[in-house]
Structure 1
Amino acid sequence: MTKNKGLNILLEIVGCFISAAGVYSFAVAAEVPVTGIAGISAILYRLFDVPMGLSNVLINIPIILFSYKLLGRSFFVRSLRCMILFAVFTDYLLPVLPVYTGNRMLATLCGGVVVGIGDALIYMQNSSTGGLDFITMAIKAKRPHLPFGNITFGAALAVILFNGAVFRDVDSIIYGLLFNFISAAVINKMMFGFSSSMLALIITDDGKAACDEIDRVAERGSTILQGRGGYEGSPKDVVLCACSNKQLYEIEHAMQTLDPGCFIIMLQSNEVHGEGFRQLKLGKSES
């Protein structure tokens, strides 16, 4: 999310159009189930020809009322805007545009990528198109200890299985799971993969030499912390350095040469979204 409100709204519009195109022009056209309220709307559309955008808005009304207090006014307003945009694109613009009518597997792959790109643009503006996004975020706000991925996966699986049961199409369950997996992977890559940075923690006997070597190979500054072994109480230097993936590889290789017995911890951070650091590797470097 940028500081430019006009740009944020523009990105919301683009994201909603791309996401709606992925659902309507690929998934629905190829009878591939999608998740969330959009998936339920797609089922109603196929069974009773109910406009997807309209049903999406109507189903979302009680969900919005349920989650409004938990998620706040700003998020509600942005999500309501995206929900209306998604409905307009789905019911009025995309029906007059060509849809993909080729191979079902190709529709699944392309649709998953397209929806992932669209949804990522929406989420990056701290918004959503409503539906299960509201429910899962509300549950997370109420029960922060619950794994967010488990909540979303469970909800997604329920809609996909329901679609397969209604239309007696076992293959659609497989296509739906693949579609959902691809879109989630694209969302994660767009939101976190391009903005991630690395943090190296190097436990060594000579922190100054390690800092000099890091500066030589990666031109990165580093910090030395004083540590002490918990068993023997021997003093150790803990060197911290934030860097890119490529620089981390160069630093690790340099440390292996400088001090084969050093202990290296590698962490990955999603700085833009404040997700903290995730441990990637823990152990002695090998020469």
Structure 2
Amino acid sequence: MIRYNFNKKVGGNNMKIEKQKIYDITIDTFYDIIGSILYAAGIYTFALSANFAPGGISGLSIIINFFTKIPIGVCSLLLNIPIIIISYKVLGKWFLVKSLKTMVISAFFMDVVFPLIPIYSGNPILAAVFAGVLSGAGLALIYMRNSSTGGTDFLILSVRKKAPHLSIGQITIAIDGCVILLGGLVFGTIDAVLLGIIMTISSSTIIDKIMSGFEAGKMAMVITNHGKEIADVIGKEVGRGVTIMNVTGAFSGESRQMLMCACSKSQVYNLRRIVSTIDPTAMTMISSFDEAFGLGFKDNLID
């Protein structure tokens, strides 16, 4: 009788799984640390001394700190407790556990490390811009590892699941707007509201850029009767590949060709020149994209 020993294979697979878990936890923690440093630098070093409140739990923590002097990180953790309880069933255990780890690391840098570093006390507008840039970069790194600093992130995701017809942008504007307006009342100036808006816009822009990439480009779609000819010239002069599809006009019933070409912003002018030279009657549509992956663009692989 031939006996097969499956234990070695199963044990090997378990070892691979354990190594992958250790690797994931290590990378998660590394991103948490770097993200928390940037986030704490934005909130504590720049926003705290400028007398304004950004949106979210960080804004509420700054307002509470203004009255009570309770450390911002501790405030954030305390404010997150009821939010975690409310969001537990909606968001799931694993996401909340990861986020709790991130919140503790963030609170450590906010309350222990950065109070040892001199804060910025210069131009309030510069403070708002750099607070947004640094905190946005930190949050983006944390989001990239499927974690969160808690607070309004939990509320936004929970509301989104319960009311999918509302966009994340609408929910964010509603929640952050209320906190920013409250900050204006607390600090007693319209500047506090404007600075809060500046920081929120800066932070959102940086998050979007990091999450979707800085490799924005243009997508050209051309409807023409000279598809092959235009595609050949674009390939030679612009150095971009072109996809050709046969299409039919709904009104005219005529069969034509549609070219689709992804290119950089600087290549759009040459592409349009080629199209207009070969077929002046062609319809050319130019749109934007955040990133492109594949041959001729960024690698498709994700670590």
Normalising by the smaller structure, the TM-score range is: 0.7 to 0.9
In the TM superposition, what whole-angstrom CA distance separates every residue of 1:79-113 from its partner, at most 9, and x where no partner exists? 22221111111111111111112222222222222
Amino acid at match of 2:59: G
Which region of structure 1 is more displaced relative to structure 2, 222-231 or 249-258? 249-258
Name the structure 2 match of 1:24.
Answer: 44
1:186 matched to 2:206? The reply is yes
Name the counterpart of 2:182. 162
Q: CA deviation at 1:272?
A: 7.8
How many pairs were matched up?
A: 271
Query: 2:214–2:291: 8 Å Cα contact kept in structure 1?
Result: no
Q: How far does the alpha carbon of each residue in 1:111-142 deviate from its partner, in whole angstroms, 9 at most, with x for none?
A: 22222222222222232201001111222223
Alignment of 1:212-227 (within 5 A): 212-227=232-247
- Code of the aligned partner of 1:9: T
TM-score, structure 2 normalization: 0.82
Corresponding residue number in structure 1 for 2:154: 134
Q: Hey, what does 2:133 align to over in structure 1? A: 113
**Cα 1:241/1:23, change in 2 over 3 Å:** same
Q: Is the 8 A contact 2:131 2:199 kept in 1?
A: yes
Calculate the TM-score normalised by the size of structure 1. 0.86
- Structure of higher CA gyration radius: 2
Mark the runs of 5 or more structure 1 residues left unpaired by the alignment.
Answer: 274-287
Letter in 2 for 1:105: I
Residue 288 (structure 2) pairs with residue 246 (structure 1): no
Q: Counterpart in 2 of 1:66?
A: 86
Say if 1:247 and 1:146 are closer, same or farther in 2 by CA, change over 3 A: same
Residues 238, 18 of structure 1: alpha-carbon distance in 2 compared, 3 angstrom cutoff: same
Partner of 1:84: 104
Give the letter for the 1:68 counterpart.
Answer: Y
* Residue 245 (structure 2) pairs with residue 231 (structure 1): no
Match of 1:29, SS? helix
Match of 2:31 among 1, 6, 11: 11
- How far is the alpha carbon of 1:197 from its aligned partner? 4.4
Moved more, 262-271 or 211-220: 262-271
Q: 1:123 aligns with which of 129, 139, 143?
A: 143
Confirm or deny: 8 A CA contact 2:213 2:291 kept in the other structure.
no
Report the identity percentage.
38
1:154-178 deviation line (CA, Å, top 9, x unaligned):
1111001111212323321121111
Equivalents in 2 of 1:47, 1:93: separation in Å?
Answer: 22
Please say which of residues 28-37 and 253-262 is displaced more in the overlay.
Answer: 253-262
Q: Which of 254, 259, 263 is residue 279 of structure 2 equivalent to?
A: 259
3-state DSSP of counterpart to 2:260: strand
The question of whether the paired residues in 1 share the 8 Å contact of 2:35 and 2:139 is answered with yes
The answer to whether residue 67 in structure 2 is matched with residue 42 in structure 1 is: no
Once the two structures are TM-superposed, the CA of residue 205 in structure 1 deviates from its matched residue by 0.7
Offset of 1:196 from its aligned partner? 3.6
Match for residue 200 of structure 1? 220
Structure-2 change in CA distance of 1:266 and 1:7 (3 Å): farther
Counterpart Cα distance in 2 of 1:264 and 1:272: 20
C-alpha spacing 1:272/1:126, structure 2 compared with 1 (3 Å)? farther
CA 213–78 in structure 1, closer or farther in 2 if over 3 Å, else same: farther
Distance 1:127 1:249, change over 3 A: farther
CA contact (8 A) 2:214 2:290 kept: no
CA distance in 2, matches of 1:223, 1:229: 18
CA distance change for structure 1 residues 8 and 31 in 2, over 3 Å: closer, same or farther? same
Q: Equivalents in 2 of 1:209, 1:142: separation in Å?
A: 52
CA shift digits 1:42-99 (9 cap, x unpaired): 1111101112111211111121222233333443233222211111111111111111
Query: Greater strand percent: which structure?
Result: 1
